[in-house]
Amino acid sequence: MASELHQLRFDPPQSNASDESSAQDDRPLLNPDSDAVADDDSDDLHQKYAPFVRRDVYGTMGRGELPWMEKVLLAIALVTIVPIRVVIGMSLLFLYYMICRVCTLFHDPNRETDEQEDYAHMVGWRRSVIVCTGRFLSRAMLFVLGFYWISEVYRILPNEDKSTNENEGQEKSQESERPGAIISNHVSYLDILYHMSSSFPSFVAKRSVANIPLVGIISKCLGCVYVQRESKTSDSKGVSGVVSERIREAVKNSSAPMMMLFPEGTTTNGEFLLPFKTGAFLSRAPVLPLILRYPYQRFSLAWESITGGRHFLLLLCQFVNHMEVIRLPVYVPSPEEKNDPKLYANNVRRLMAKEGNMMLSDIGLAEKRVYLAALNGTPRQC
């Protein structure tokens, strides 16, 4: 696959100037305290931070003036499908919590560090029950939320070579191209439910998730790697080490859970790809790129400049929600990419943007915080 994707890859940078330029990717374009933000008019602001702009009928922060028909639809949904979805959704969550609780009774969690413990390394009937019921109930939860069908496309790249000797060395090929991680764009918290229903991988999550009622034990059964996002202590190196080790383990052992990583580090409106962090590519292992889309007419499912509670309520009020998934072939890194994780990350990002018809953006989480701060500091709405 490395040779098959050659045309989509970049050559390594040839000068220190390129390295210095790329090293500046994580720096914010604006200072959050800058007065320039407050002076920008609405159009300039949205153009500058285009990857985070909402364009649905509910307005930038989900508080825009609605047409009367939309208000009627919301009122009908609030007294009909919303209570039903809440009851069934909570029942599914509690049911899976009980399944995880029973399957982990009298079983000590795996401990990779003092901060990391999980039940993803269990074997036998316990692990089978957790995975099978987790995938089924995750899909059932999506159905309850209005995703009655999900469009999945398995993309075959034009340059892929169909060899006539497919059986020759098939075992070796499958082992060498087994992905250790799934690489996905990040649009909404709904992404997690889809990936759970599809492959039940391990995620990187905030450390506080482990203590959330009901959800905490589920995250440990998923094998989540916990991280303190705002912490600048030495534990970040430990987290990268755990993630890389998990990825290498998944490549060697088909029964080990793959890692599910969102290398952008935050959500977008689904039209852009932000710069990729290199943590997912440090292991030098093959990855499986995957693209998620949420087509909409009224309410965008992207979780951006709207509060979590308002977003979830409007999600419940949607009678039908849509999701499209594009699965790309396993991406096997070239020798140059193995020696340069940033090159590896950039090439996977470029491939995903091309196949998903998305635009590349050079801004990231720091700029997103500036944009949200500007929105919260002005009364203007779209």
Closest CA to 258 of 211, 210, 204, 194: 204
- pLDDT at residue 62 in the model: 81
Looking at the chain, the whole-number percentage of residues with pLDDT higher than 70 is: 79
| pLDDT at 12 > cutoff 70 | no
- Helix, strand, coil in percent for the chain, rounding step 5: 45, 10, 45
Residue-by-residue DSSP string for 94-158:
HHHHHHHHHHTTT-PPEESSSS-EESTT--THHHHHHHHHHHHHHHHHHHHTT----EEEE---T
- Sequence-distant (≥ 6) Cβ neighbours of residue 44 within 8 angstroms: none
**Which span out of 21-35, 201-215, 226-240 was modeled with the highest average pLDDT?**
201-215
Q: Choose between 100 and 375: higher pLDDT.
A: 100
Q: Is the pLDDT of residue 199 over 60?
A: yes
pLDDT in tens, 165-180: 444 444 444 445 789 9
Per-residue pLDDT at 303? 87
Calculate helix-pair angle for 81-103, 308-317, nearest 10 degrees: 110
- Overall average pLDDT of the 96-104 stretch: 95
Domain definitions of the chain by residue range? 53-154+177-376
Answer for the pair 364, 25: CB distance below 8 angstroms, yes or no: yes
Q: What is the C-alpha to C-alpha distance for residues 238 and 253, in angstroms, rounded to an integer?
A: 22
Give pTM, 2 decimals. 0.81
**Greatest mean pLDDT among 3-7, 27-31, 163-167, 187-191:** 187-191
| For residues 77-98, average pLDDT | 97
pLDDT band, residue 329 (cuts 50/70/90) = very high
Per residue in 46-79, pLDDT tens? 788 999 998 888 888 888 888 898 899 999 999 9
CA distance 55 to 365: 20
Q: How much is the average pLDDT of 302-320? A: 91
| Residues linked to residue 125 through DSSP beta bridges, in sequence order | none
Instruction: Please report the pLDDT score of residue 159 as a whole number.
Output: 60
Indicate if the pLDDT at residue 310 is higher than 50. Answer: yes
Give strand pairing partners of 111. Answer: 117
Buried-exposed string 61-91: b where 16+ CB fall within 10 A, e elsewhere: bbeeeeeeebeebbeebeeebbeebeeeeee
In this prediction, residues 199-217 reach a mean pLDDT of 90
pLDDT over 90 for what percent of the chain?
51
